[in-house]
Chains A and B, each alone.
Chain A
Amino acid sequence: MSRMTMIEAIRDAMDVMMGKNDDVVVFGEDVGYFGGVFRCTHGLQEKYGKNRCFDAPINESGIVGAAIGMAAYGLRPCVEVQFADYVYPAYDQIVSEAARLRYRSAGDFTAPITIRMPTGGGIFGGQTHSQSPEAVFTQVSGLKVVVPSNPADAKGLLISAIEDDDPVIYLEPKRLYNGPFDGHHDQPVTPWSKHELGEVPDGYYNVPLGKAKVTREGADVTIIAYGTMVYVAEAAVKETGIDAEIIDLRCLLPLDEETIIASVKKTGRCVVVHEATLTSGFGGELLSRVQETCFYHLEAPIQRVTGWDTPYPHAQEWAYFPGPERVSRALEQVMEA
């Protein structure tokens, strides 16, 4: 066990996999010599050489397209898009190519690639450094979508993603890079070094894709969350005193429906929270699944707490970010119903 930040855990996952498998290559903008704008690839080029970890031109479609070609050759590229907000130029390559390559070639060619990208707000990132675009990936058949919430999961899930033979979108909540964040922006943040989840196993291990984790057991209401919102949910539970069960999805696609269904059938109530915008967000899918599978167990309408249907603003950061107060209000409403 070692104490690590999420950044160090992510770097360690790539280090472990590059050491284990010569076919793993890492590249992206500023990823090589400099080690990444968030330091996630720091030291990897020095350790594994420029053939294995290198800087890329500023062209997201090029980065992902080249990775698909490399995967078709037999490599296992783990590439970085500097911010999830900048993934859109690569959307054609991700949706039309990576996601469908196995299907359209009947397994003749595959794209075992991992696309890492920092996601989420709460950092005064404004419109293009704060978005949570997971729903534009979860609606694509053939992709897997992962959002870790702590260093130990981040490492284990990234190792699974790199080893997985399907293309994986790996969204890293940058607000959690250095420590957990519960939405109380006016209070000092605890670094991972002082948090129990900053304990990360050394060497190789994995956290399977498609398995959620119940981070708090409870009897009254189920909160479905992922990424930063896991800590916001915990804060809301503490502040309301409501005995909620919190599910950290970890993997949005494939979705661990069993864990969700078991929990909602037990509690009879459900609140879904995410930073992304409301309309057609991933929460809509969660609501549908819960409604379809738990209808007779539901004692209240399912609630959603999400970002507003606006672009992510700068100055209005905390009016936009769905903090503990909004989650608390939803919990209280769902308990009253």
Chain B
Amino acid sequence: MSEKKRLHLHVPEPEFRPGDKPDFSNVTIPKAGSVRRPDVDVSPEEIRDLAYSIIRVLNRDGDAVGPWADLLSDDELIRGLRHMMTLRAFDARMMMAQRQGKTSFYMQHLGEEAVSTAFQCALEKGDMNFPTYRQAGLLLAQDYPMVKMMNQIYSNEEDPLKGRQLPIMYSEKEYGFFSISGNLGTQYIQAVGWAMASAIKNDTKIAAGWIGDGSTAESDFHAALVFASTYKAPVILNVVNNQWAISTFQGIAKGGSGTFAARGHGFGIPALRVDGNDYLAVYAVAKWAAERARLNLGPTMIEYVTYRAGGHSTSDDPAAYRPKEESDAWPLGDPIERLKLHLISKGIWSEERQLQTEAEIKDTVLAAQKEAESHGTLHSGGSPSTRDMFEDVYKEMPPHLRRQRQEAGI
């Protein structure tokens, strides 16, 4: 009598761990310009293959090629480069400010700068983003005052959120930037609700939901897809696949399926997969999805393939779970370098202007930082009023909170 084969649990592992030499040569990266550009009213069934490919515009020589190219003017491209450089410089200063103890916490965008900055340029005034904590480019691409962001990071006397929120959990309605929550995935279904509201009121505005690869495992990801699909909500459902959710590689959230974009198809939502380090490609797909939404054709899912080059946060050391060289080995390169090369190959940019711009941006960020610090940092200088702790729990303060405020002696 043969013994029954014993079961065993499958726990996926990333290919490389600290000490390994990362090698992505087996990762298939389609050639720039090789993926077709369908009409926006295409049926989801006709573009299933796009959820398994990668839309790319910039080739290795920095040329913009194929059907998704040629959408942005020279000025817009230069602006785009500046936005990404600003975000990187901003991150660098704030990372340092955290190390200096001026704030408790920070999260950077290193390597993902193209995703949020290019996307924002495809939106119009009045549209609403429901971001995660790694899309500050949505604000910087609108030339949002850096000082205000820093005031929030420092929880100082000018903090627009009055010291109540963890650093980087910005909220800016006027700039179409929904209040960030620490709870992952919650904003994805809220984005769909906002878009439904716009449709209910026969408005022209659209919404964009944001989620990372790891958080697609949250239940609200599923809720968002069901609602977006059922009501054909004018929403763009963005998945930023940066390969890592803190220490867990994207395979832990993947459930064995091919790509995150492909999940849209289970819900009849057309899906695109795009090179997230290609500013032009990100802008082009965002524009395509926005147009679909504005024409009442319904939701679009976009997966941005990118790489989280930095640590998850200032509380994280990636050397504990992945090779140090992995981000250099990542085949899609650096978004800033790639756009810079494109501008140079177009003859509208130079290494010299790059250095000049870098210096200019650094000065601007430093000046903003100086101004923000004049209003205080977390442990020194001006602070938000303690009285503010009790405000805004409700529209009007109920008696029990008034009593507690008195007890607190404020």
A, B from the same assembly: yes
Contact surface of A with B, Cβ cutoff 8 Å: 25, 51-52, 56-57, 59, 61-62, 65-70, 72-75, 89, 92-93, 96-97, 100-110, 141-142, 144, 164-166, 210, 254-255, 257
Q: Determine whether the beta carbon of A103 is less than 8 Å from that of B393.
A: yes
11 contacts between A and B (CB under 8 A): A62-B224, A70-B200, A72-B178, A73-B198, A74-B197, A105-B171, A105-B179, A110-B395, A142-B393, A164-B395, A254-B399
Contact of A75 among B161, B197, B226, B230 (CB under 8 A): B197
A75 — which chain B residues lie within 8 A by C-beta? 197, 200-201
Among B164, B169, B178, B196, contact of A70 (Cβ-Cβ < 8 Å): B196
Partner of A65 from B128, B223, B395 at Cβ < 8 Å: B223
Determine whether B409 belongs to the interface, using a CB cutoff of 8 Å to chain A.
Answer: no
Closest B residue, CB atoms, query A253: B398
Query: In the docked arrangement, what's the CA distance between A90 and B201, Å?
Result: 25
Q: Which of A97, A102, A105, A210 contacts B190 (CB 8 A)?
A: A97
Contact B186 A96 (CB under 8 A): yes
Q: Which residue of A lies closest to B174 (CB)?
A: A108
Name which of A70, A101, A109 has the most chain B CB atoms within 10 A of its CB. A70
- Taking CB atoms and an 8 Å cut-off, the chain B residues in 374-410 that contact chain A are 392-395, 398-400
Q: For A165, what are the chain B residues with a Cβ–Cβ distance below 8 Å?
A: 395
Most chain B CB within 10 A, of A52, A102, A106, is at A106
**In chain B between 157 and 207, which residues have their CB closer than 8 angstroms to a CB of chain A?**
160-162, 164-165, 169, 171-173, 178-179, 181-183, 186, 188-198, 200-201, 207
CA distance A104 to B168 in the complex (A): 12
> Which residue of chain B is the closest to A254 with respect to CB atoms?
B398
Once bound together, how far apart are the Cα atoms of A61 and B187, in whole Å? Answer: 11
A100 nearest CB neighbor, chain B only = B181
Report the bound CA distance from A102 to B179 in whole Å. Answer: 9
Please give the distance in Å from B276's CB to the nearest CB on chain A.
25
Is B227 interfacial (CB 8 A cutoff)? Answer: yes
Q: Are A57 and B230 in contact (CB under 8 A)?
A: yes
Task: Assess the B197–A70 pair: CB atoms within 8 A.
Answer: yes
Check A69–B394 contact: CB distance below 8 A.
no
Q: Are A102 and B393 in contact (CB under 8 A)?
A: yes
- B313 part of interface (Cβ distance < 8 Å): no
A59-B223, A66-B193, A96-B183 given; 20 more Cβ-contact pairs under 8 Å: A56-B227, A57-B227, A61-B219, A65-B188, A65-B220, A65-B223, A68-B190, A69-B196, A69-B197, A73-B197, A74-B201, A75-B200, A93-B220, A100-B181, A141-B393, A144-B394, A210-B398, A254-B394, A254-B399, A255-B400
Tell me, yes or no, whether B244 is within 8 Å of chain A by CB. no
Contact A65 B193, beta carbon cutoff 8 Å: yes
Say yes or no: A103 contacts B200, CB within 8 Å. no
Binary A-proximity of B224-238 (CB < 8 A = 1, otherwise 0):
101100100000000
Could you tell me if A73 and B128 are in contact, using CB atoms closer than 8 angstroms? yes
- Known A-B contacts A69-B130, A69-B194, A106-B392; the reply to A62 vs B171 at CB < 8 A is no
A94 to chain B, nearest CB (A): 11
**Contact of B392 with A65 in the complex, beta carbons under 8 Å:** no
B408 CB → nearest A CB, Å: 14
- In the bound assembly, the distance between CA atoms of A110 and B198 in angstroms comes to 17
CB B152 to nearest CB in A, in angstroms, measures 10
Complex contact B181–A97 (CB within 8 A): yes
Our pick among B186, B197, B224, B393 for the contact of A97 (Cβ within 8 Å) is: B186
How far, in whole Å, are A21 and B385 apart by their CA atoms in the complex?
Answer: 37
B81 to chain A, nearest CB (A): 30
Least Cβ distance of A129 to chain B in Å?
Answer: 23
**Is A105 a contact partner of B398 (Cβ separation < 8 A)?**
no
What is the 8 Å Cβ interface bit string for chain B, positions 218-259, against chain A (1 contact, 0 not)?
A: 011011101100100000000000000000000000000000
**Are A106's CB and B189's CB within 8 A?**
no
Please name all residues of chain A whose beta carbon is closer than 8 Å to the beta carbon of B198 when the two chains form the complex: 73
B139 CB to closest chain A CB (Å) equals 13
Q: Are B400 and A257 in contact (CB under 8 A)?
A: yes
Known: A72-B128, A72-B194, A166-B394. A104 touches B179 (CB 8 A): yes
Let me know if B179 and A109 touch, CB within 8 A: yes
The complex places the Cα of A141 from the Cα of B160 at a distance, in Å, of 21
Closest CB-CB distance, A80 to chain B, in whole Å? 15
- Is the beta-carbon distance between B190 and A66 smaller than 8 angstroms? yes
Partner of B226, one of A57, A93, A254: A57
Residues of chain A within 8 A of B130, CB atoms compared: 69
Complex: A107 Cα to B395 Cα, angstroms:
8
For residue B157, give the distance in angstroms from its CB to the closest CB of chain A.
Answer: 13
For B171, list chain A residues within 8 Å (CB).
104-106, 108-109
Closest A-B pairs by Cβ, 3 of them: A69-B193, A66-B193, A62-B223
A62 to B196, CA, bound (A): 12
Shortest Cβ gap from A72 to chain B (Å): 6
Q: A62-B223, A108-B171, A108-B173 are in contact. Are A68 and B193 (CB under 8 A)?
A: yes
CB distance from A110 to the nearest CB of B (A): 7
- Shortest C-beta distance, B263 to chain A (Å), equals 16
> Measured between alpha carbons, how far is A110 from B398 in the docked complex, in Å?
17
B contact residues around A164 at 8 Å (CB): 395
| C-alpha spacing A97/B197, complex, angstroms | 18
A residues near B181, Cβ cutoff 8 Å: 96-97, 100, 104
Contact of A103 among B178, B222, B392 (CB under 8 A): B392
In the bound assembly, the distance between CA atoms of A255 and B219 in angstroms comes to 34
For B161, give its contact among A92, A106, A255 (CB under 8 Å).
A106
Give bound CA distance, A275 to B65, whole Å.
Answer: 69
A184: min CB distance to chain B, Å: 36
